[in-house]
Structure 1
Amino acid sequence: MPRGKTTKPKKATTIEEPKRRTGRTRGRGKAMASSESKVAVGSKRKYKTAASTDAAPPEEAVVPVPKRQKAGTSRATEETDRAVFVNVKAPKPEPEKRGETGAKISHHSHRQEPGEVMTFGQGDIGQLGLGEDIDERKKPSPVRGDLEGEEVVQLVCGGMHTVALTRDGKVYTWGCNDEGALGRPTIEGEEYSPGLMVGLEDVVIVQVSAGDCHTASLTNTGVVYCCGVFRDSNGPFGLAQPGPPSPSPIVVYDSPTSRAIKVVSGSDHVVVLTNEGDLFSFGCAEQGQLGRVPECFSARGGRKGVKYLLDPQMVRFRKSRGVKTKFSDVFCGSYTTYAYTQSRHLFAWGLNNYGQLGVNDVVIRYVPEQLPSDCLDTSEDTDGSREELEIAGGQHHSLLCHRGSVFVMGRREYGRLGMGEEEKTEPLLPTRLPTLTDIVSVAAGSVCSFAVSRSGQVYSWGMGTSLQLGNGKEDDIWKPTPITGKNIINRKVIASSSGGQHTALLVSLPNES
């Protein structure tokens, strides 16, 4: 069994949980605050889930940045493990016909079933998309505005913003736009309702992902765009280049020989899967989530500089019996990454202070580590089909959905694992939840969890302080519980996603329920 190179056991990086609110006030600023949050001066952002050191500077560190590349120029590298283009200003690809149905790349994660967007939880920064006058919802509520009449096929929640992808390849965003995560200019109040991301009019988007302060979009030609910024324990440090946030989408990955077919985001990192089965990662590396940066370079690249983190570079794996490891899927938690090989082995790396990687210890992994081979049933079904696999992760816990079953690992507080209040252990290996069957997808907020069944029932459990469990109460839920509401009666839930304080559901269209 190939195993990744591990580091000497050390004390894991500490990431504080959101503190419970003792009272509630309406309007902006009632978001939960982490004791280690980093808030930009003059920013509206009240909640930021980010890893930090024990002693935080009183203000954001001013990052010396190297001389910036001239706008409009591309940067080719001689190394084979780098993306071909990493630009400040993106050159536009050849114009695509809007709504073109024949995608030039494909992956089973590209969703096709259309639905309606519904949100609930806290929305005082606009992340619910229900308008400036509505800053919380206890039950699923439909998002209208510019989304009315659109057929949404994918829905993702960032830390405090939400992204919706339509069937014809358009991207709508709403929520906090302090650092450009929406990919469109907004004036006061416009971030509370869905709006079309600018700069993508000539391309067709087939997949989106979102982190705390960034949004990534994948085109049907295998090009990845990003907007916003990556942050670490010292504050923002850049996107494609060191420096300020990018308020509109720019190209961050474009290779004619190794095209992207899937893009996923953690809180502050992005991983790209290519058609050749390789993985490219970029962003924050402080918790080992890039899988290619040694600990000595994890803080802003060390002597190699920030560009070492921001340039998409290949995640290297040891050869197995002389054969190079190739991948078929990839997933991200807040500070973790999981990759599934074409030979059906599961690898993980990143923050592991509560055993959320599922590798049977609590040591951070800066390079890929293979999970025990017996944690998954990797045999083929009788019809020869590939098994279903989906992984999601919060701050300190992870969910694994495999062939209808849900497995959990990591921290148990507030019920996020769904194992019951009487269960005191914190599993270091994937542990099955017997109460859930026939599950097809899972999602994780910072301190809560969700699962969707094949029949379209959605379940939630974990911390309820922000109303993001959808049960109408602020109590914690220790076991998976169905979400109900008048707006989803006799409707099938297609998918779920959760951010720092809010949750979004993609619900079947009324005439298709």
Structure 2
Amino acid sequence: MSKKVIGVAAGEAHTLALTDDGSVFSWGRGTFGRLGTGREEDELSPVPISFNGGRGGGGEQNEQPKFVGAAAGAYHSLALQDDGSVWSWGYNIYSQLGHGEENASVPSLVERFQELGAPESLSEGPDQKHDIDDKKPLKVCSIKAGGMMSLAIDSLGALWVWGNTPQPGKTEDGEEFCLVTSSPPHPIRDFHGRTVVKVACGNEHIVAAVTAGETFTGGNLVCYSWGNNGHGQLGLGDKENRPRPVVVPAFSKDSPWTIYEIACGAAHSAVLTRGESVEQEMGSKCWTFGLGDNGQLGHGTTGSTLLPEPVAGLPPDAILISLDCGLFHTSVVSTAGEVWSWGMERGLGLCPDACFAGNDAGDALNPLRITCTETTGGKFAGPVQVACGAAHTVLVAEDGRKLWAWGRGRSGVLGRGQEVDSYVPCAVTWPPLDADFKEEAERTGETKTSNQTVEGEEVQILREKLALMEQYATMLHVSVFRKPFDQRNLSKWLPESGTFDIWRELEKMMDSAETDELARLDTFYKSVRSTVKDKLMRRRVQEMVKESLVSLARGK
């Protein structure tokens, strides 16, 4: 199997995938050039991004550099080359690309990192260049993007930011928070003498995991936050904005919890921790804080939270390995291949049982288990990473050999060759067909023939038809049985007879259902019956009125 995925990132409506051979693929909405294909057209399936003219490890020019990282903002993208160089493309109105003033539809180097030396060698003037003959060139080891800003951590643990970033503004009373469009990248000097290990950002706030001492020992991380705090997304217990990094008290150096993952949504934040003592619960804890209007905090309400609170609906013994926040939803993945999501999107993979009646907006206020009908026990074998966009979620599983996606499918954001929504995880077209043919040709030493091209097109058409039928069957199954389709629960006689007794299956499902499930079924079917009766009554009234009008016309 070619093109094993080792990392994935999701923007507003586009996705990036990084493979083990150093390639980067993109798909979804193409406006502003965010896909890096040189066009603004949407891509319904993964396509490779070309980085012609890249720099090799020794600075020489080569055709295709190797990449070790990828990140996606709302409408822009970043890629990290194996030599520490940063590339960017897409929307650039806030200078989040770190170069030029216009949008870019093809990747370009962020030259600032090529010009600067190590951050401790910089003078207080952030724009002053350093003589790279005296110091080694600056190398980036990690990148992140969110909203309209970009972030990078260099090899010495210093944090760099650019784009629409929170910065201190000088007033007569001192400093106050403001958002400043900044380019090129500049360092955050508040962490001098310590190492920034992880960072995440929302629309207007940043959360960072920083060492308590100079070096990272694996468990000495302190959580800092700064920026817009209008909904409590900084986790400081108030709604006051912060122009500079401030320690989050719940995750200070005296905290009994050890941070190992952080993520940010538009105006909410999430942190994964593990305990360090026998008295603490085994497994992981997911903490959320900030805006909760759509249930994105997973606390069972739509209220906002000013301080970090654990998400109670997750199994206490689950060991969580990946976390991400979308615009208004959150997802986590466990080592066992279990996936939970909560928040908005009216049932698009988050809450398929929502009735959308009365005050029910269809949002998931508590974690809901996302199951896969094509896998054993609904779990995803070999989980790697989850990534959340504005209205879609992507999961890398089977140790990078398979990708799943669910949510809104407009512009091909689900990567399955279509633009339809999916309420349940569906397989992304991976590996891309072109990559398959290319690998086979390289292995056999032959070039791709026209027959292979035709066969590939036929296979693609069959895949699209199969995906459409699977989606149709799933939606039909959810409509009738109010739960996702699972082929393992089908009767054994179905493959033999080719028939399906829907009433028999519905009765079996009701016999095994819990009381609350039966109550939901009762509410759903009562609503359906009432709607049908109402439609029949309206049609009957229309017919009666029509007959009366005809009679009156004849009487005249």
Relative to the length of structure 2, the TM-score reads 0.56
Q: Which has the higher helix share?
A: 2
Q: What letter matches 1:247 in structure 2?
A: S
Q: What letter matches 2:368 in structure 1?
A: T
Specify whether residues 471 and 371 from structure 1 end up closer, same or farther in structure 2 by C-alpha distance, changes over 3 A only.
Answer: same
Partner of 2:67: 205
SS in 1 for 2:397: strand
Q: What letter matches 1:198 in structure 2?
A: S
Shift of 1:482: 0.6
Partner of 2:441: none
Q: Does residue 267 of the first structure (1) align with residue 147 of the second (2)?
A: yes
1:415-434 superposed matches below 5 A: 415-421=295-301, 426-434=304-312
Partner of 1:341: 210
Q: Does residue 230 of the first structure (1) align with residue 97 of the second (2)?
A: no
Shift of 1:509: 5.4
Partner of 1:241: 99
Indicate conservation of the 8 Å contact 2:84/2:140, yes or no.
Answer: yes
Q: Does residue 277 of the first structure (1) align with residue 157 of the second (2)?
A: yes
2:13 pairs with 146, 157, 160, which one? 160
Distance 1:293 1:221 in 2: 35
Shift of 1:240: 2.9
SS in 1 for 2:33: coil
Q: Does residue 482 of the first structure (1) align with residue 369 of the second (2)?
A: yes
Partner of 1:441: 322
Specify whether residues 470 and 175 from structure 1 end up closer, same or farther in structure 2 by C-alpha distance, changes over 3 A only.
Answer: farther
Distance 1:511 1:260 in 2: 27
1:86-485 superposed matches below 5 A: 149-186=2-39, 188=41, 191-199=43-51, 201-231=63-93, 239-252=97-110, 253-254=113-114, 255=116, 256-285=136-165, 288=166, 291=167, 298=178, 301=181, 309-317=182-190, 324-343=193-212, 344-372=221-249, 387=258, 389-403=260-274, 404-421=284-301, 426-436=304-314, 437=316, 438-465=319-346, 467-469=348-350, 471=352, 475-485=362-372
Q: What letter matches 1:467 in structure 2?
A: L
SS in 1 for 2:374: helix
SS in 2 for 1:363: coil
Partner of 1:136: none
Moved more, 470-479 or 427-436: 470-479
Indicate conservation of the 8 Å contact 2:198/2:262, yes or no.
Answer: no
Shift of 1:242: 4.5
Once the two structures are superposed, what CA deviation does each residue of 1:292-323 show, in whole Å capped at 9, x if it has no partner? 6668895655xxxxxxx01111112176xxxx
**Which structure has more RCO (C-alpha within 8 Å, separation ≥ 6)?**
1
Shift of 1:243: 2.2
Specify whether residues 214 and 480 from structure 1 end up closer, same or farther in structure 2 by C-alpha distance, changes over 3 A only.
Answer: same
SS in 1 for 2:336: coil
Q: What letter matches 1:153 in structure 2?
A: I
Shift of 1:410: 0.9
Distance 2:401 2:105 in 1: 38
**Structure 1 unaligned spans of 5+:** 1-147, 302-308, 381-386
Distance 2:329 2:245 in 1: 26
Shift of 1:510: 9.9
Q: What letter matches 1:368 in structure 2?
A: P
Shift of 1:241: 3.4
Distance 1:443 1:370 in 2: 21
Partner of 2:218: none
SS in 2 for 1:179: helix
RMSD: 2.9
Once the two structures are superposed, what CA deviation does each residue of 1:95-144 show, in whole Å capped at 9, x if it has no partner? xxxxxxxxxxxxxxxxxxxxxxxxxxxxxxxxxxxxxxxxxxxxxxxxxx
Distance 2:400 2:7 in 1: 17
Once the two structures are superposed, what CA deviation does each residue of 1:411-432 show, in whole Å capped at 9, x if it has no partner? 22221111113xx753211111
Indicate conservation of the 8 Å contact 2:238/2:306, yes or no.
Answer: yes
Distance 2:177 2:270 in 1: 29
Shift of 1:360: 1.5
Distance 1:214 1:418 in 2: 28
Once the two structures are superposed, what CA deviation does each residue of 1:54-94 show, in whole Å capped at 9, x if it has no partner? xxxxxxxxxxxxxxxxxxxxxxxxxxxxxxxxxxxxxxxxx
Moved more, 164-173 or 478-487: 478-487
Specify whether residues 206 and 439 from structure 1 end up closer, same or farther in structure 2 by C-alpha distance, changes over 3 A only.
Answer: same
Distance 2:6 2:401 in 1: 16
Once the two structures are superposed, what CA deviation does each residue of 1:360-408 show, in whole Å capped at 9, x if it has no partner? 111222211111165677569xxxxxx5511111122111111211001
Relative to the length of structure 1, the TM-score reads 0.60
Specify whether residues 435 and 172 from structure 1 end up closer, same or farther in structure 2 by C-alpha distance, changes over 3 A only.
Answer: same
Larger radius of gyration: 2
SS in 1 for 2:77: strand
Q: What letter matches 2:46 in structure 1?
A: P
Specify whether residues 219 and 472 from structure 1 end up closer, same or farther in structure 2 by C-alpha distance, changes over 3 A only.
Answer: farther
Would you say how many aligned residue pairs link Structure 1 and Structure 2?
Answer: 338
Percent of pairs with identical residues: 27
Partner of 1:35: none
